[in-house]
Amino acid sequence: MTSFRLSDDHEQLRATVAEFAREVVAPVIGGFYERGEFPYEIVAKMGKLGLFGLPFPEEYGGMGGDLFALCLALHELARVDSSVAITLEAAVALGAMPIYRFGDADQRARWMPEFCQGERLAAFGLTEPGGGSDIPGGMRTTARLDGGDWVIDGSKAFITNGGTSITSLVTALAITGRLDGRAEISAILVPADTPGFSVAPEYSKVGWCASDTRELAFAGCRVPAANLLGERGRGYAQFLEILDEGRIAIAALAAGLAEGCVDECVRYVGERAAFGHQLGYYQGIQFKIADMAARAHAARLAWHDAAARLVAGEPVKKQAAMAKLTASNAAMDNARDATQIFGGYGFMNEFPVARFYRDAKVLEIGEGTSEVQRMIIARELGVGRTATSR
């Protein structure tokens, strides 16, 4: 029987991050968001708090925690702002985690300490302009061995933390050959100052406006053969493992956004009046907020369950996909309802619920779209295994 109560350590972490989000992030993040500016000062403070090292061992300067601890931090940050939350999620769950999981001793020793401190960020380059869901089918980036180096050619799309001034490394997935007629995919570490590697200007985005998202280009980009991460040809399997964890982390972020909508609305309906009463007097409003709170609760339980299973070493593919689907649905529904409750103010960028509305949509897209989550869940249930296409 699993207990959903937080341990004392986890509760202390949750409270610390909640206070940080309230005191440090909330007062200034709206300005960064409007300017489309990466919040270096906030990221540096998150680093000092130890957030970038949460799931990593102390020998690398980490906090010795686990994915559950990271998810708690993401949840509390996203209750206030998703740009800083996704910066942390992408840097840790997608950026540093593959090096910790699959890197050799030299690679870990070289990269993990600076990532754990948050002084430098790593990015994960999987998606390509030609397709994100259909990997490996849509992959075109190649890497070939030449005189003891990998030479990489291709491009990656929508890469979080791809081009900040503190990004020091990108893990790129590339086709390194063919095996039994199939693309052989490997993961290769590309330091950001490698000649032939370049980043495009920031995309203009609907949401996550204070996070960094770039297209990356590799043109005859040459790195030592030793920059192969894990085994040659295991890149796709590694990426599936990383994405299971990433989905739980995104679920935590989405649950945080869903809960942030509740926080904002509970406060607002006690202040705003219409027809002679506070908004909270009206049952139509009460019911909306009750539904929002129930969705946020279900979303929290979904990621708690998936993260706890992962930490216990149990298979989580189905639970991770269900958590991401449940939580991103909750985030979208709550953001829509919160904006409605705020009326015209909900459409004004200076109010957090407007940011929540703009930030919620991408949760149904990144790290596997909702359709991809449904495919995974159906496959795990054995649905369609015997179906034939006509």
What three-state secondary structure class fits 273? strand
**Which residue, 65 or 366, has its beta carbon nearer to ligand FAD?**
366
- 245: closest CA among 317, 181, 185, 298? 317
Assess contact for 106 and 153: CB atoms under 8 A: no
**Which residue, 129 or 224, has its beta carbon nearer to ligand FAD?**
129
- 245: closest CA among 168, 157, 295, 319? 319
Cα–Cα dist 39/212, whole Å: 10
Q: Of 76, 202, 367, 371, which one is the catalytic site residue?
A: 367
Cα–Cα dist 208/38, whole Å: 10
Phi-psi region of 161 (alpha: psi -120 to 50; beta: other; left: phi over 0): left
Under the rule (CB under 6 A), what is the footprint of ligand FAD? 90, 94, 123-127, 131-134, 158-160, 208, 213, 362, 365-369, 371-372
Cα–Cα dist 306/65, whole Å: 16
Minimum CB–partner distance for residue 145 and ligand FAD (Å): 24
Assess contact for 155 and 184: CB atoms under 8 A: no
Minimum CB–partner distance for residue 243 and ligand FAD (Å): 9
- 335: closest CA among 261, 266, 285, 256? 261
Catalytic residue list contains 367 = yes
Minimum CB–partner distance for residue 161 and ligand FAD (Å): 7
Minimum CB–partner distance for residue 357 and ligand FAD (Å): 15
**Which residue, 76 or 202, has its beta carbon nearer to ligand FAD?**
202
Assess contact for 74 and 249: CB atoms under 8 A: yes
**Which residue, 260 or 366, has its beta carbon nearer to ligand FAD?**
366
Work out the angle at residue 258's Cα, subtended by the Cα atoms of residues 64 and 158, and round it to the nearest 5 degrees. 70
* Burial classification of residue 51, based on how many CB atoms lie within 10 Å of its CB (0-12 exposed, 13-18 middle, 19 or more buried): buried
Assess contact for 49 and 16: CB atoms under 8 A: yes
What three-state secondary structure class fits 80? coil
Q: Which residue is nearest to ligand FAD (CB)?
A: 132
Which alpha helices (H) appear in 343-369, and where do they start and end?
A: 352-360
**Which residue, 18 or 175, has its beta carbon nearer to ligand FAD?**
175
Minimum CB–partner distance for residue 11 and ligand FAD (Å): 30
| Strand 142-146 versus strand 149-160 pairing type | antiparallel
Nearest 10 degrees: Cα torsion 99, 102, 106, 108: 30
**Which residue, 57 or 191, has its beta carbon nearer to ligand FAD?**
191
**Which residue, 300 or 358, has its beta carbon nearer to ligand FAD?**
358
Cα–Cα dist 155/140, whole Å: 8
Provide the annotated active-site residues.
367
